[in-house]
Amino acid sequence: MPDDRGPRERPRARRRGLARLIPRRRGVQIALVVLVLAIVGAAIGGYIYEKNRTGSIYHPHARFFPQPSPTLPAKGPDRFAWPLYGYNPEHTRYFPAPASVRPPFRKVWVHNEGGLLEFPPVIYGDHLFQLADNAQLTALNRHTGHTFWVRHLGVLSASTPAVNATTVYATVLSTGNSAGPGRIWALNYKTGQTRWVHSLASPSESSPLLVGERLYFGSQSGTVYALNARSGHVLWTYHASGSVKASPTLFNSDLYFGDYSGHVQAVSARTGRLVWRSSSEGAVFGSGTFYSTSAVEYGRVFLGNTDGRVYAYDAYSGHLDWAVQTGAYVYSSPAVTNAPNAGPTVYVGSYDGTFYALNARTGQVRWKFGTHGRISGSPTIIGRIVYFADLGEKAAYGLGVSTGRVVVRFQRGTFDPVISDSQKIFFTGSSGIYGLAPTDNPKLVTTLPPH
């Protein structure tokens, strides 16, 4: 029999189907709206995060410890010594030279090293020690430029030696043989003969820090070493999360250094135990790495990062005090001093070709100087002049620490250009070293031989 309900119920069934379908469509639409909002929210959040991560951060009320400016020893060999990368264990890169050590300069001697000179030499007594990138270590007379001795320590280096009255220490990136990818050497100060050599499990381009009878340096595996400086015996090791290419910095009883995982840490110089560890915001969205050697002053740790920032951390807690964004990578290690009429100031160059003077307390820019090149190396303060080199321009500048005005310009300069013995300055070009003495001749030294 024909179903009399059929013609009447089928439309109801269609309506019930549509009724079920409409909520589904609405659900899909709502889901799509939620998804779009989530994407937009993530984009906005990512933009805000990226802006905060790469922009400047200021904590103006963070604690700050004013300190008097250091002075030269009254007499003795230490008065003429520049024994470490960055001059002192705090790596402030500030040398309190007499007012007489300023431009104009005259050339006293020149030494053509031959290899690329990426890092500056060190001085102790009448010896100046220069380690070239080809791992050749040369001992020169700082008065005449005469060569005392030369040693080939491997095939590749990128660091500054450390020296005392008896021994010079140098790290090596590559030995050129299977004995180990890296080494640390201890050589006789007068003769260059080997006192001891320690093979490393990975290359090292960390300028060694010598304090008393202890030697500290990092390696590309992230291992930081403390060795007995007399014997080369390992006292302790610390393992960071990334390569440690900087020289460890000593303040009070702790060592400070950044690594290639984007972290800064403080460890006990006596035991290697971790004191604190802070981040530059980690690896999210391509965070930068710490190549820069830290300068510790005013209770703060100052260093640059390849994310374009210059950072200041509390030396006791690791809390971020400020972070200032530049226009490009900051490989440069900061120099710090109490500038006349300006106050505590941090000086650092950026790969964007801008040299910055930053308020050490607040991070605010005191002044900046543009070179239109690339600043890769680190500055040094000699008295009241801060010197730095521009890799792009192949030039070096000396600026007034308080004003940023040009005092002298050299046509040769690539990385870390100047150190001093309180009588002369020693200028490092791409492959040559120059001994320069102050002169009464008003003509500035702007042209140097092509080394």
Residue 58 is predicted with a pLDDT of 86
CA dist., res. 137 & res. 128, Å (int)? 10
* CA distance readout (Å), 142 to 113, 155, 241, 401, 437: 14, 26, 40, 26, 12
Tokens encoding 48: 């805000």
CA dist., res. 319 & res. 21, Å (int)? 57
Residue 179 is predicted with a pLDDT of 60
CA dist., res. 303 & res. 300, Å (int)? 10
The pTM for the full model equals 0.86
Q: Is residue 99 part of a domain?
A: yes
Q: Is residue 319 part of a domain?
A: yes
Residue 19 is predicted with a pLDDT of 45
Q: What is the CATH number of the domain that holds 313?
A: 2.130.10.10
DSSP symbols for 372-394: SS---S--EEETTEEEEEETTTT
Q: Is residue 31 part of a domain?
A: no
CA dist., res. 123 & res. 115, Å (int)? 20
CA dist., res. 429 & res. 120, Å (int)? 9
Number of domains into which the chain is organized = 1
- Looking up tokens 């002369």, which residue turns up? 424
Q: Is residue 153 part of a domain?
A: yes
CA dist., res. 5 & res. 95, Å (int)? 104
Residue 10 is predicted with a pLDDT of 36
Q: Is residue 409 part of a domain?
A: yes
Which residue stretches of the chain have pLDDT < 70?
1-54, 178-180, 280-287, 442-451
Q: Is residue 140 part of a domain?
A: yes
Residue 445 is predicted with a pLDDT of 59
* CA distance readout (Å), 242 to 140, 249, 283: 36, 17, 12
Q: Is residue 42 part of a domain?
A: no
Q: What is the phi/psi pair of residue 32, to 5°?
A: -65, -40
Q: Which domain holds residue 158?
A: 55-438
Q: Which helix (H) or strand (E) element contains residue 409? A: strand 406-410
CA dist., res. 413 & res. 112, Å (int)? 14
Q: Is residue 354 part of a domain?
A: yes
Residue 306 is predicted with a pLDDT of 95
